[in-house]
Amino acid sequence: MNTFGILFLCLVVFLIVVMLIFVIGKISELESLTERLLDNKTFSSENAQLNNSGSHEESDLLQGQSLWNSMVNNVQDSPEWADRKKKYEYVFDKHVKHVINMGYQDGLVQSTKKYPSNELVLNMLRGDITSWLPTLESNALYDLAYAASNVMQSDASSLADAVSNLIFGLSDQLVFDGTVLNEEVLVRLKLLSESNS
């Protein structure tokens, strides 16, 4: 029994040493990964500063409602304009999803309605950008998401149609194809059925 105890103790000490070596190795990997990420971030921010010191297009300087109006009212066929529209479509999608998530979460907890601001500051790679949605549509998105959190199955189809009409209406103003955004929102609101897809 004494030999068994010594062997058991040696095994435990061996396992502890192996675990310490493993943990130290993982910590070293984590440190090197962190160092690489910090180096990349520093490099990216230096490049962004260099890019920001160059000339800006007019729509790159616009924020909020001015940016929305620029996207709605300018129809150009240039590749540069198409690229800006594509970037703005990402901002638009994020803003719509933010409003939908707020309404849905408030509806789930049955809190009083707290309409979000129709402006949203998004952190982007090249700095913050202020997105804007028309107040009427922003509040309607919130209301529909709030209602979707507790919708009866019999009302789900009409609610899904209302959400789709609103999203496609906003997308049409910006000359975007709102199909993917619409499907993502309907999935989030648990309103997507086989008849909607």
pLDDT in tens, 69-95: 677 777 666 677 677 777 778 888 888
- 36, part of any domain: yes
- Identify the domain containing residue 44 by its residue range: 1-54
Do 39 and 63 belong together in one domain?
no
Question: 73 and 115 in contact (C-beta within 8 Å)?
Answer: no
Do 131 and 76 belong together in one domain?
yes
Do 112 and 48 belong together in one domain?
no
The last residue of one of the domains, among 34, 54, 74, is 54
- 194, part of any domain: no
Tokens of 123: 């952190």
The last residue of one of the domains, among 15, 39, 54, is 54
Distance CA 103, CA 140 (A): 10
pTM, 2 dp: 0.61
Do 62 and 47 belong together in one domain?
no
Quote the distance between the C-alpha of residue 23 and its chain's center: 34
Angle at Cα 133 formed by Cα 116 and Cα 149, nearest 5°? 45
Distance CA 197, CA 186 (A): 10
What confidence tens digit (pLDDT) does each residue in 116-139 have?
888 888 887 777 888 888 888 889
End-to-end CA distance of the chain: 71
Mean pLDDT, rounded, of the chain: 78
- 101, part of any domain: yes
Do 2 and 79 belong together in one domain?
no
